[in-house]
Amino acid sequence: MEMSATRDHQQYRQDIRAFLDLEWAKPRASGDVDIAAFRTKAIDAGYLYRGIPRRFGGSEQPADSLKARIIAEEFARAKAPGEVKGVGTQMLVPTLLECGAEWQKEKFVRKTLTGEYKWCQGYSEPGSGSDLASLRTRGELVDGEWVINGQKVWTSYAGTSDYMFALVRTEPDAPKHEGISYLLIDMKSPGIQVRPLKQINGGEEFNEVFLTDVRTPADWIVGERGKGWAVSKSLLKHERNMIGGVDRSDSLFKSLLSLARRVERGGKPSIEDPWVRDRLAALKARLEVMRHISLVQFTREANGAPAGRTQMMNKLYQSNYAGEVANLAVELLGDDALLSPIGNRDVGNERWLMQYMNSLAAAIAGGTSNIQRNIIAERGLGLPREKEGAA
């Protein structure tokens, strides 16, 4: 086991620092920031969208997950804008690159990477959550166009998106997993109605989307007719990798430590309280568990070896962790936990109540914790698959 970075990687880190200093820190200090131009330079230098071919707007670098990690660390350190986040870059683009037609890649990938095209995901339906393949929104091919009718739900940012990638039942007579196609829809099409849903945290990021005789061209299908489920499987994989991450857990723990230093307990800073120290150390251990297993996974990926079944556990470990941190934070808040974190007035430590709620979103989105347990048990541990209930 070599714990220190190789010279090559150390040099790489130095190069990134020099780049960020020149192209980001200096312009920012002089108030002369152009984020789009900075991103273009970072792509040219090979720091962003490394897995994406140059002809589609990526930087097309050899796979090196440790370099990718160094880039992420250095960009975060310099507070420089990295890759555009969201379902467009993190879910649609990888899916198009894997399953899309050439013209689809050319039309959609580059502008999605720059943030010009924003996407939403037409996935869940009122009756189809964890059992996604039971979805009922249907599409019929009429005069060279798909005519789509149905309803989607939990569609984040539907109101501000340019396009939707959607799972639609196009083969009503086929078995449930084989009757679904993966379609692209222009959100400006007639027949789309977006209704925001108010969330427990007061926000309105997600929506219901009603589709009534919505038309999309026949070739706006990714993969073949009836193969949309397979396409969506690669999508699920991308989403699981996207949610959480050690960096997020790391910054959560740092914030918790700073809260423990700031708030008092029995007339002293909480961090001096033996019970609080014990709970913080327990959470620190779990953070180090995530940090080091991700290093193991990175190493194996970098060497082309299977990362192992611990990869299936990342999402559950991370979302559990977010909940554990939030729980301790709310204990530390004391009476402040009675105050609303929402509103225009100055919000103090009770802003942790937002994390208390948001950590639940992490445990639900992208496959609930119980779905994660099914995946670990069935695919990881080889326990018998769940039989479908009588329909």
Partner 1 sequence: MKFDLSEDQIALRDAVTDYLADTCPIPVTLAAHEDATRDKEIWDGLMALGVGGVNIPARHGGIGLGMLDLAVIAEAVGRFAAPGRFFPHALATQALILSENEATKAEWLPKLASGEALATIALAEGQQRWLAEDWMLAGNERLSGSKLFVPVADEADLIIVGLEGRDLALVETSAEGLRIAATPTFDGGRPLFEVSFDATPCTRLAGADGTRLCDAGLLLLCADAIGGAAHCVDSSVAYAKEREQFGRPIGSFQAVKHQLADMALEVEPSMGLFWYAANIYDSNSVESAQFSALAKAHFTDLYAAMARRMIEMHGGIGYTWEFGAHVWLKRSVFDRTFLGTPTIHRARYAQLAGW
Q: Phi/psi of residue 11, each to 5°?
A: -65, -40
Active-site pick, 74, 83, 125, 239: 239
Site residues for partner 1, window 260-279 (CB under 8 A)? 271, 274, 277-278
Q: List the structure tokens of 302.
A: 């970098």
Query: Closest CB to partner 1 among 257 and 337?
Result: 257
DSSP strand pairing (163-169 vs 145-156): unpaired
Q: Which of 310, 327, 349, 368 touches partner 1 by CB under 8 A?
A: 310
254 makes contact with partner 1 (CB under 8 A): no
Query: Closest CB to partner 1 among 327 and 374?
Result: 374
Residue 330 Cα distances to 269, 279, 324, 350, angstroms: 15, 13, 10, 8
31 makes contact with partner 1 (CB under 8 A): no
383 makes contact with partner 1 (CB under 8 A): yes
Query: Closest CB to partner 1 among 1 and 29?
Result: 1
DSSP strand pairing (138-142 vs 145-156): antiparallel
How many CB atoms are closer than 10 A to CB 304?
7
Residue 127 Cα distances to 130, 132, 133, angstroms: 9, 9, 10
313 makes contact with partner 1 (CB under 8 A): yes
How many CB atoms are closer than 10 A to CB 390?
4
338 makes contact with partner 1 (CB under 8 A): no
Q: Which of 109, 256, 280, 325 touches partner 1 by CB under 8 A?
A: 280
342 makes contact with partner 1 (CB under 8 A): no
Residues 291, 321: Cα–Cα separation, whole Å: 12
**211 DSSP β-pair partners:** 150, 192
Q: Which of 127, 284, 334, 388 touches partner 1 by CB under 8 A?
A: 284
301 makes contact with partner 1 (CB under 8 A): no
CA 57, chain centre distance (Å): 21
285 makes contact with partner 1 (CB under 8 A): yes
Query: Closest CB to partner 1 among 274 and 343?
Result: 274
Q: List the structure tokens of 23.
A: 């192209």
Residues 118, 91: Cα–Cα separation, whole Å: 12
Query: Closest CB to partner 1 among 4 and 30?
Result: 4
Q: List the structure tokens of 312.
A: 């299936």
Q: Which of 386, 389, 390, 391 touches partner 1 by CB under 8 A?
A: 386
Q: Which of 29, 384, 389, 391 touches partner 1 by CB under 8 A?
A: 384
Q: Which of 175, 190, 343, 382 touches partner 1 by CB under 8 A?
A: 382
How many CB atoms are closer than 10 A to CB 316?
21
Round to the nearest angstrom and report the end-to-end CA distance of the chain. 52
Query: Closest CB to partner 1 among 231 and 313?
Result: 313
5 makes contact with partner 1 (CB under 8 A): yes
**Is residue 239 annotated as a catalytic residue, yes or no?**
yes
Q: Which of 68, 72, 296, 354 touches partner 1 by CB under 8 A?
A: 296
Contact 164, 155 (CB under 8 A): yes
300 makes contact with partner 1 (CB under 8 A): yes
* Options 36-44, 126-134, 224-232, 365-373: segment touching partner 1 (CB under 8 A): 365-373
How many CB atoms are closer than 10 A to CB 330?
16
Query: Closest CB to partner 1 among 339 and 377?
Result: 377
- Number of residues counted as binding partner 1 (CB under 8 A): 53
Q: List the structure tokens of 59.
A: 């930087």
Q: Which of 236, 295, 347, 357 touches partner 1 by CB under 8 A?
A: 295
Quickly list DSSP for 118-164: -EEEE--BTTBSSSGGG---EEEEETTEEEEEEEEEEEETGGG-SEE
Q: Which of 68, 97, 147, 289 touches partner 1 by CB under 8 A?
A: 289
Close Cβ partners of 162 (under 8 Å, ≥ 6 residues apart): 117, 118, 119, 186, 187, 188
Question: Which of 75, 119, 387 is closest to 238 using CA atoms?
Answer: 119
Contact residues for partner 1, defined by CB under 8 A: 1-6, 9, 66, 257, 271, 274, 277-278, 280-282, 284-286, 288-296, 298-300, 303, 309-310, 313-314, 316-317, 320, 370, 372-374, 376-378, 380-384, 386-387
Residues with catalytic function: 239
